[in-house]
Amino acid sequence: MPAVEEALEELGIAWSGPVPLEDAVRGAGVPALPGLYRIRRVGLTHWDYIGQTGVGWMNLRRRMAMLRGIYAEQMPYRDPHTAGPGLWALRHRGDELLEVSFCPVEAATPWRKGLEAVAIALHRQDHGRSPTLSFGRMPAGYRMSSGNNARLVAAGRRFRGGPTDGLDDSHAPGVPPIAPLGDDVLSANWCGHEWTDWSPLTTEAIQQLDTTSGLYRIRGRTDELVYVGEGAIRARLLAHALKLQAASAQGDALRANAPLAFSIVYGHDWLRHQRLEFETDLIGAHVLATRHVPAAQFIG
């Protein structure tokens, strides 16, 4: 068994054999359960999209039904499924046959999202790249449709995407992982990044930072990570500091682990989808190393 598949099975991720996506969107061979799914063009060894579903009434069968639009004449909107425009574009340019594989995961949403991060992070390690359409990316030559909601309609900003000669950030390449998925989540070179020294998560310390975007991690009093994130670092850390005072699930998790400290990686010139790729590597590495997600991750 390949090392990646073995690592996934140790966490309970056992993928079903692939079924044609065209059948799956009609419900054939799709479990009516929460879980993970992965989609690719037939004949490829890497995957084009890896996702998860299961919040509320949603399950894998309903999620697949949301991709029916990729078989329509026009590109579907970005919702109800964010990968719909990209999968439509692959078919439009001639990649007719797509297949999908499933892994039911009947667990709380944070754990399911953590397993999704593991699946993507290990895919990146195995193939040196993210799934083709993950993190909001599009095939070159196609513009992504907008979302589809009342606010966009009222503002006149809803539109169908399609073929284009233009380029935008969605066409920019992803970034490969820069190192193996490290198991020392507190180290100064975790996953190959150059992390700063730890500083207390206080308004005074955060205000000393500039407005650079990048990656950050937050450590609790027991030397366990409680959150991993990306974005405008100063603004994001200030938001977490404010949540220490808020009545919310994430605020409760942060307070339960206080006092907190942070360490960051400055983002160079990474685009947002590239930061998301590295963030996913970090969350996946954390789950593999500790067998749990950081305490405040994926809870709002």
Q: Does 269 score more than 80 pLDDT? A: yes
* Range 260-281 burial, b when 16+ CB lie within 10 A, else e: bbbbbbebeebbebbbbbbbbb
**pLDDT band at residue 247 under the 50/70/90 scheme:** confident
Domains of the chain by start residue, with CATH: 3-171 (no CATH), 190-290 (3.40.1440)
Give residue 2's pLDDT.
59
Give residue 228's pLDDT.
98
Tens digits of residue pLDDT in 189-227: 999 999 999 999 999 999 999 889 999 999 999 999 999
Q: Does 1 score more than 60 pLDDT? A: no
Give residue 246's pLDDT.
84
Give residue 9's pLDDT.
82
Structure tokens at 290: 């500790």
Q: What number is the average pLDDT over the span 282-297? A: 97
Q: What is the chain's mean pLDDT, rounded? A: 95
d(C-alpha 117, C-alpha 90), whole Å: 24
> In degrees rounded to 5, what are phi and psi of residue 190?
-55, 125
Q: Cβ(48)–Cβ(131) under 8 Å?
A: yes
Q: What's the one-letter identity of residue 3?
A: A
d(C-alpha 176, C-alpha 274), whole Å: 9
Q: Look up the pTM and report it.
A: 0.96
**pLDDT band at residue 8 under the 50/70/90 scheme:** confident
**pLDDT band at residue 297 under the 50/70/90 scheme:** very high
Q: Cβ(51)–Cβ(116) under 8 Å?
A: yes
Tens digits of residue pLDDT in 104-148: 999 999 999 999 999 999 999 999 999 999 999 999 999 999 999
Tens digits of residue pLDDT in 47-103: 999 999 998 899 999 999 999 999 999 999 999 999 999 999 999 998 789 999 999
Phi-psi category of residue 167: left, alpha or beta, with phi > 0 → left and psi -120 to 50 → alpha: beta
Q: What's the one-letter identity of residue 47?
A: W
**pLDDT band at residue 300 under the 50/70/90 scheme:** confident
